[in-house]
Amino acid sequence: MVLFEIILGITALIFLFVLYRKRSHSYWARRNVPFMKPSLIWGNLDNPLLTKHGLKVDIKNAYEYFKRHGHKHGGIFFTSDPVWIPVDLELIKNILQKDFAHFTSHGLSADPERDPLSGNVFNLDGEDWKFVRSKLSPNFSSGKMKMMFNTLLECGVPMIDHVDQQSKRGDALDVKEILASYTTDVIGSCAFGIDCNSFKDPNSDFRRCGRKVFEPSFNNVLRMIVAFVAPFLRHVVKFKMISNDVEKFFMDLVSGLFEYRKANGIVRNDFIQLFIEMREKAKETGEKTLTLPQITAQAFVFFLGGFETSSSTMTLCLHELAFNQDIQDKLRAEVRETMKKNNGELTYDSIMEMKYMDQVVNETLRKYPIVPFVMRACTKDYRVPDSNATISKGMKVFISTLGIHRDPAYYPNPDKFDPERFSDENKSNIPNNAYIPFGEGPRICIGLRFGLMQTKMGLSMLLNKFKFSPPAGEKYDFHFDPKSFNLCKEGSVFLKIEKM
C-alpha cells in the first residue's frame, strides 16, 4: 500500500511537472511569435552540464533557425523561461539605440550589499548605472589612453624577452598563456599601479585570480548557469557570482592602495589615481561620488574585461596569422614601416592609425567576437515594429553577435579569415549593425579604446620581432571552449615562434 502511494505521488508530480512545462512552453505561441520547438527539460538549450558547445552556440543556432525561416525575430526557452531573439538588423538597431529606453538593462542582477563586486557598471541598471557610467566615462577618453601608453610599452618588454628566450628551445609555445600573462601585467599596472611580474612569477595573485575567474571549471559553469538560465537562484540560495577569496583579494587591494598612496603622497598614471582624484574633487565640490566598494567593483570588472578579452583576441589573431602567412607578412611590413617613420618606436597615434592592423583586428573580432552575444532585458513593454507582437517588461533579450558575424548574407564565405572585408574599398559593403563586437548604443563597451590599444600594441611588438607558424604537421582546427562564457579556443594554443 505504501509503495503504491509513493508511485502514485511520483506519477502525480511528473504529471504536474509536464503540465507546467507544456504551459510554460506555449508562451510564444499564445503571443503569435515564431518559436523553436523546445525540449521538455532544457527548452532550447543543450544540457549546460554536458554541452559540447555552450550557450554561445545555442544562441547562434536560434539566430540561424529564425533567419533560415524568414523571421525577423523569434522566441526560445531557457528551460521554461521565454527568451527573445531579434534577427533583423534594423530591429537590432532599434533595440540597442533608437528604442534603448525599452532595453536599458543587461538583465544581470546586481546585489552590491551581499556581493560587492557584482555592483559594477556591466551589471547595474537604471539610475545606478547612469551614475556610475558618468563617473567612469572620462577615464576612458583618448587623452587618458595616451597617458597610459608608455605603461603598455613597458609591460611588453618582459613579454618579448620571455618569448625570445623560450623560442630558442625550438618547441612550440602556448601563446594563450603568454598573452594572458602580458594582459595581466598591463591591467595590474594600468589599473592598480602594481608590477605583477607574471613572466617571472606565473602564480602571482593577479594571475591566479584571472585563472580562477575564467578557468573552465565546474564552479564557473554553475555560475554561468545561474546568471543566464536561473538568476532567481542567486537570491534563493544566497549564491555569489564571485568567490569569496577573489572578492577579498580585490577589496583588500583597492582599500590598501588608497591608504598607502594617501599616506605616502604617491601619484601614478593609472585608474586608481583617477579614482583618487575623483573622490578628492568631490570632497571640494560636495558632489556625489563613488564609494570605495563601488570603486573596487569597477576596478574588478576592468580587470576582467582588459585581461580576458584582449588576450583572447590576440591569441585568436596570432592563430589565424600562423595559418595565413601572407596576411602575417603584410601586417608585419606595416608595423615595421610605421616604426621606421617614428624613429624605430611605437607611439599611440601611429598604432591607432595603422590601417591594415585595424583591418586584421576587425576581422579577428568579426570571426571571433569575444563576447558572442549582446544581452538586454526589456525594461518596459515594447511593441515590435511592423508586427502585432509585444515584448513584455522583464523579458530577456539575446542578440547573437556570433550569428551576425558569421552570416553569409553579410560576410560571404564567413569562415574565411579575410581582413580585406574591412578595407576602405570594401567596408561599405558591410550593412549597418552587422559588426557589433563591443555592443552598440549607450551601453557599448566602455573600455573598447583601451582594449583596442592593448591588442594592437601587443600584436605590433610581437610581429616586429617574431614569425608565428603552426607546429609541424598541425592542420587548422578550432573548437569553442563549451565551458567558457567568452568565445575562445578550447585548450592551449601552441604555435612555433621564430625570431626574425
- CA 287 – CA 16 distance, rounded (Å): 56
Retrieve residue 288's grid coordinates.
556625489
The position carrying cell 589565424 is: 320
- CA 253 – CA 275 distance, rounded (Å): 14
> Could you report the per-residue pLDDT of 427-456, keeping only the tens digit for each?
999 999 999 999 999 999 999 999 999 999
User: Hey, what amino acid is at 366?
Assistant: R
Within 62-114, strands assigned E span: 73-78, 81-86
- Asked if 362 and 435 count as a contact pair (C-beta separation under 8 A), the reply is yes
- pLDDT, tens digit only, all 500 positions of the chain: 677 778 887 888 888 878 888 898 999 999 999 999 999 988 898 887 777 788 899 999 999 999 999 999 999 999 899 999 999 999 999 999 999 999 999 987 777 778 888 888 888 888 989 998 988 888 888 888 888 899 899 999 999 999 999 998 888 999 999 999 999 999 888 888 888 888 988 887 777 776 777 665 555 556 566 666 555 555 555 666 677 888 888 898 899 988 989 888 888 888 888 888 888 888 888 888 888 989 899 988 888 877 788 999 999 999 999 999 999 999 999 999 999 999 999 999 999 999 999 999 999 999 999 999 999 999 999 999 999 999 999 999 999 999 999 999 999 999 999 999 999 999 999 999 999 999 999 999 999 999 999 999 999 999 999 999 999 877 777 777 777 777 777 788 999 999 98
Whichever domain contains 226, its CATH number is: 1.10.630.10
**Looking at residue 54, what is its pLDDT?**
83
445 annotated ligand binder: yes
Q: Torsions phi, psi of 35, nearest 5?
A: -150, 160
- CA distances 284 to 287, 290, 295, 394, Å, are 8, 14, 19, 40
> Could you report the per-residue pLDDT of 339-353, keeping only the tens digit for each?
999 999 999 999 999
Number of domains in the chain: 1
> Could you report the per-residue pLDDT of 98-127, keeping only the tens digit for each?
999 999 999 877 777 788 888 888 888 889
Q: Torsions phi, psi of 377, nearest 5?
A: -130, 140
Answer left, alpha or beta for residue 433, where phi above 0 means left and psi between -120 and 50 means alpha.
left
Q: Which domain does 193 fall in, by range?
A: 2-499
**Looking at residue 113, what is its pLDDT?**
79
Instruction: Write down how long the chain is.
Output: 500
- CA 414 – CA 353 distance, rounded (Å): 26
- CA 447 – CA 298 distance, rounded (Å): 11
- Asked if 122 and 301 count as a contact pair (C-beta separation under 8 A), the reply is yes
